[in-house]
């Protein structure tokens, strides 16, 4: 990425107190989180289960990575905030989700999800728990470094076209 590309990307994916490699790692985890990659909560049965990340701000504070995000698909927009915290071979993601939709009752707009990304050898497993009791496990294929760079470049190119 060029210096200009990095400036454009950082407008939508700002980060503080971390390296670019750390930033990329947490972006990778976030885009593979349950509520971004294959959410069980949708407006209706026909809604897309995956969401595009439009904004993701990351901030490292001691041993916690805080984040604020805006994600969307063709049916709805969501604001997600929370934090990552590592424990041994596990990274825990705790998210509070606000669904920005006029068709939902106020009681249906907020929910929380806790996810553990467990790293075993060269595999990553995601264990997701919604606070209403639903639980899901799956193997996750995180992007390689090259795939992550391509993801970042594609987002950057898309935002440059909108300027």
Confidence of residue 112 (pLDDT cuts 50, 70, 90): very high
Q: What is the extent of the structural domain holding 100?
A: 3-162
Is it the case that residue 155 has pLDDT exceeding 90? yes
Per the prediction, the chain carries an average pLDDT of: 93
Residues 60-106 pLDDT 10s = 998 999 999 999 998 899 999 999 999 999 999 999 999 988 888 88
Return all residues near 76 (Cβ < 8 A) that are at least 6 apart.
Answer: 42, 43, 47, 99, 100, 101
State the burial class of residue 80 (Cβ atoms within 10 Å of its Cβ: 0-12, 13-18, 19+): buried
pLDDT at residue number 103? 80
Using pLDDT thresholds of 50, 70 and 90, give the confidence band for residue 162: confident
How many domains is the chain partitioned into structurally? 1
Question: Is residue 24 a contact partner of residue 152, using CB atoms and an 8 Å limit?
Answer: yes
């Amino acid at each position: 990425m060029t210096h200009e590309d990095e400036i454009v990307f950082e407008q939508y994916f700002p980060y503080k107190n971390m390296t670019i490699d750390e930033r990329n790692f947490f972006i990778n985890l976030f885009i593979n989180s349950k509520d971004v990659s294959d959410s069980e909560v949708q407006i209706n049965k026909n809604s897309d289960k995956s969401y595009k990340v439009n904004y993701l701000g990351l901030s490292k504070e001691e041993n916690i990575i805080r984040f604020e995000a805006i994600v969307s698909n063709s049916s709805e927009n969501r604001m997600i905030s929370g934090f990552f915290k590592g424990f041994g071979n596990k990274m825990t993601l705790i998210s509070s989700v606000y669904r920005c939709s006029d068709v939902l009752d106020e009681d249906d707009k907020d929910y929380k999800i806790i996810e553990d990304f467990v790293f075993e050898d060269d595999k990553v497993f995601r264990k997701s728990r919604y606070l209403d009791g639903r639980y899901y496990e799956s193997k996750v294929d995180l992007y390689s470094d090259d795939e992550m760079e391509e993801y970042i470049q594609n987002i950057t190119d898309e935002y440059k076209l909108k300027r």
